[in-house]
Amino acid sequence: MRIPFLWSCALVLAAVGGNVRAAAAADFQPAVVYDMGGKFDRSFNQSAYDGAERFKKETGLAYREFEITNAAQREQAIAQLARRGATVIVAVGFTQASAVEKVAKDFPNVKFTLIDAVVDLPNVQSVVFREQESSFLCGLAAALASKSGKVGFVGGMDIPLIRKFALGYREGVKYGNATADIFENMTGTTPAAWSDPSKGAELAKSQIGRGADVIFHAAGATGTGVMQAAKDAGKLSIGCDSNQNYLQPGSVLTSAVKRVDVAVFNAFTTARAGTWKAGQLSLGLKEDGVDFALDQYNRTILTPAIEARLKQAKADIISGRIKVSEYK
């Protein structure tokens, strides 16, 4: 059958349009480089992975990824992804700042989104979080839920970022109970501190032995040991970075949620749409960048009375009535 001229043109244009769209999709290549601890750390990296997976699911576009296992790989991995045509590269973690700075200068046409550190270059977007705000809410929850008036904090690597978590937590605890005792330990001073559940459990048991009945961790995969030890002792824990309430249902009071997933998803989405911007983004309670977690796994222990106090404190932090200190 002979196809009319106009229909023939339409078919040709449709085919060309489809090819253009396919080429555009092929030209857009997002990538993510995870920090130490692996993408399935059930914490910081996994939140980044969730954001990349959400982008993939919603757009049908694949992304490239790399899991760092030693410090020397950071710059190599980022540079290799840039050389292979990555359009936007998300580097997860403050430890990747120097690598991003070096590679971004070598590849000025590639967009780089850096999580948890700041690099001032025209092709780098730096995303930082006001973790102290969600930590404050977790500290308040701990103070309200504690029966002993003694609570704990287990950090991962002893760095300013984790000190910021600890400071917000302490202020929240004292806001809820001015006479509360707070025990605080850091796991170590090297990146290995993020992936040592046994050490986390050991520190948690020590704090429980001193009377702590609620322990907040900001320790990556090490925190799974903290949560297990609390569950075994019949005490409460508080998760960190991603919603970890499900890991030990009924013993995780809440989690300090840090929306790394949103940062990754937005970086990919805006880069694809042409609206990605360099510069610094600071995300806190007001921007839904951090929060506390409430779901079916902790509903029975985070009571409506505690929830009401947390929501009021959250509103007061957003309005400025409560000032949470910035670690310096």
Within this chain, do residues 48 and 191 fall inside the same structural domain, yes or no? no
pLDDT in tens, 122-147: 999 999 999 999 999 999 999 999 99
Reported as a pLDDT band with limits 50, 70 and 90, residue 174 is very high
Residue 325 lies in a domain: no
pLDDT higher at 125 or 13:
125
Within this chain, do residues 302 and 163 fall inside the same structural domain, yes or no? yes
Residue 198 and residue 163 in contact, taking contact as beta carbons nearer than 8 Å: no
Q: Rounded CA gap, 217 and 228, in Å?
A: 12
Reported as a pLDDT band with limits 50, 70 and 90, residue 121 is very high
Reported as a pLDDT band with limits 50, 70 and 90, residue 11 is very low
**Full residue range of the structural domain in which residue 313 is found:** 131-258+298-319
Residue 111 lies in a domain: yes
The tokens of 211 are what?
């009377």
Number of folded domains that form the chain: 2
- The CATH number that applies at residue 145 is 3.40.50.2300
Within this chain, do residues 26 and 154 fall inside the same structural domain, yes or no? no
CA distances (Å), 239 to each of 3, 53, 144, 190, 233, in order? 64, 22, 17, 21, 17
Phi first, then psi: what are they for 108, rounded to 5°? -65, -15
Within this chain, do residues 167 and 314 fall inside the same structural domain, yes or no? yes
SS3 content of the chain, % helix, strand, coil (to 5): 50, 20, 30
Q: What is the mean pLDDT of residues 153-178?
A: 97
The tokens of 184 are what?
């605080």
Within this chain, do residues 106 and 44 fall inside the same structural domain, yes or no? yes
Q: What is the mean pLDDT of residues 26-46?
A: 88
* Nearest in space to 251 (alpha carbons), one of 263, 259, 239, 242: 239
Q: Rounded CA gap, 75 and 96, in Å?
A: 8
User: So what's the pLDDT on residue 26?
Assistant: 61
Phi first, then psi: what are they for 282, rounded to 5°? -115, 120
Q: What is the mean pLDDT of residues 199-223?
A: 97
Q: What is the mean pLDDT of residues 240-250?
A: 94
- Give the H/E segment covering residue 183: strand 181-188
Q: What is the mean pLDDT of residues 174-186?
A: 98
pLDDT in tens, 256-306: 999 999 999 999 999 999 999 999 999 999 999 999 999 999 999 999 999
Reported as a pLDDT band with limits 50, 70 and 90, residue 37 is confident
Q: Rounded CA gap, 159 and 180, in Å?
A: 25
Q: What is the mean pLDDT of residues 9-18?
A: 40
User: So what's the pLDDT on residue 13?
Assistant: 40
pTM for the predicted model, two decimal places: 0.85
User: So what's the pLDDT on residue 25?
Assistant: 55
Residue 328 lies in a domain: no
pLDDT at position 119 over 50: yes
